[in-house]
Amino acid sequence: MGKQMTEMLKGTLEGIVLATLAARPAYGYEITARLREQGFSDIVEGTVYALLVRIEQRGLVDVAKVPSEKGPPRKVYSLNASGSAYLDEFWSTWSFLAERIEQLHHNNHTQEKGEWP
């Protein structure tokens, strides 16, 4: 994953993690593993964890401590009502951005071909 990818992901990772939790509750390592499976191969557990701390502080998730067979209890995160509302806002912002950027890309492309005044 290149530097540019890392920079772009920074602004969207919060939405990505909330979207993952919308599917079903999970603990930190599970979320990291799921994202890695989906192709975000350089995502590290610490970054995801720091983000979980933030969304917990902002009240977007509920946290349950679940005993684990090995090691300390796990903090399982689930999306709550504020989190769902925040995620909806994330998706509309994302659609807006994606549309604008795609349009820029398209315009530049046709301009190169001389199809655009």
Partner 1 sequence: MTQGWLEKVTGSFDDKKRWRQYKARKEQLPGNYRTTIDALERYFTYAGAIVKGDVLMQMLEDLADLVEGAAADGTPVRDIVGEDPVEFAETFISNYSDGQWINKERKRLTDTINQAAAGDA
Query: Which residues of this chain interact with partner 1, rule CB under 8 A?
Result: 27-29, 42, 44-47, 49-51, 53-54, 57, 68, 70-72, 74-75
Q: Supply the minimum distance, in Å, between the C-beta of residue 28 and partner 1.
A: 6
Q: Supply the minimum distance, in Å, between the C-beta of residue 9 and partner 1.
A: 12
DSSP 2-31: -HHHHHHHHHHHHHHHHHHHHHS-EEHHHH
C-beta of 54 vs 109, nearer to partner 1: 54
**In the chain, beta strands by DSSP E:** 26-27, 61-66, 74-79
Q: Supply the minimum distance, in Å, between the C-beta of residue 8 and partner 1.
A: 15
C-beta of 67 vs 114, nearer to partner 1: 67
Count other Cβ atoms within 10 Å, centred on residue 77. Answer: 25
C-beta of 6 vs 95, nearer to partner 1: 6
Q: Supply the minimum distance, in Å, between the C-beta of residue 57 and partner 1.
A: 7
Residues 17 and 52: beta-carbon distance below 8 Å: yes
Q: Measure CA 45 to chain center.
A: 13
